[in-house]
Amino acid sequence: MALQIAPSILAADFARLADEAAAVPNADWLHVDVMDNHFVPNLTLGMPVVEALAKATDKPLDCHLMIEHPDRWAPGYADAGASSITFHIEACRAPILTAREIRAKGARAAMALRPATPIEPYEDMLSEFDMILIMTIEPGFGGQQLLDACVPKIRRTRELLDKHGLDVWIEIDGGVSAYTIERCAEAGADVFVAGSAVFNADDPSLVVDNLRSLAERARA
C-alpha cells in the first residue's frame, strides 16, 4: 500500500480548523484526537466538532478516541462523519463487537495500544481490525519526543500481520518528524500521524510532502 500522512489537528489552531485543514491539501487523512480528561489527562473536542469538521473538508477524518467507554461512543463517530475510528484496547470491554459495529456503519475500525501495551495478546483478533495504532508517545499531549522503545513493537506487529496474511495498516502517532519517520517506516509503519511537525511549520503542505518522501525512501 502507499504510505500515508495524517496531520493531527491537535497541533492546529482550533479557532480556524477549516483553514488549517485546507493548508494540507496533500494529506491523506486528517487525524482528530478526542480526549475526555479521564482516560488521558487532557480534554480536547468531541462529536459535534467532528461533525462540523466533516462538513468543512473533503479530507477523510481519522478519529482517535482516547476516552473511557469507547464501546458506547465509538460507533457514533461514524455517524458524525469519521471515516476511520480508533479506540484504545485498554479502555474497551468488547473490542471485537465494537469494531464490528464501527465497520457496519461503513467506517474503518482500528485498535490503539499505549506504549507499554504489547501487541502479542491480541494476535487472534487482528483480523477484526483495519488498522493498528501504535502510540509512540504516552497519549494525552502533543509535542512529545518519539519513544525509541516503541519501534521494535512496530516491527513485531508487522511480523504478526504478515504471518496471518492480513491487509491491516499500522499507524504510528507521537513524535513523528523528519528525524524519526524513516526508522518507523523501515520497521513497517504505513500511516504516520504528525501534529507539531506539520502545523507549526511555515508551509504545512511542504512538510507533508517531505515526510512522505522520507518514509517512501526508507520503505524502499
Collapse the DSSP code of 25 into the 3-class scheme (helix H, G, I; strand E, B; otherwise coil) and give the result. Answer: coil
| Angstrom distance (rounded) from CA 82 to CA 15 | 20
Placement of cell 482550533 in the chain: 14
Residue 85's closest CA among 116, 64, 59?
A: 64
pLDDT digits (tens, 9 = 90+) for 199-210: 999 999 999 999
Which residue of the set 33, 36, 62, 130 is catalytic? 33
- Average pLDDT on 182-199 reads 96
Polymer length in residues for the chain: 220
Q: Which CATH superfamily is domain 4-219 in?
A: Aldolase class I (3.20.20.70)
Q: How confident is the model at residue 48 (pLDDT cuts 50, 70, 90)?
A: very high
pLDDT of 143: 73
Which residue of the set 28, 36, 62, 173 is catalytic? 173
Q: How confident is the model at residue 141 (pLDDT cuts 50, 70, 90)?
A: confident
pLDDT digits (tens, 9 = 90+) for 113-128: 999 999 999 999 999 9
DSSP string over 105-167: TT-EEEEEE-TT--SGGGGGGGGG-SEEEEESS-TT-SSPPP-GGGHHHHHHHHHHHHHTT--
28 has catalytic annotation: no
CB neighbours of 121 closer than 8 A, spacing ≥ 6? Answer: none
**Domain range summary for the chain, segments of one domain joined by +:** 4-219
33 has catalytic annotation: yes
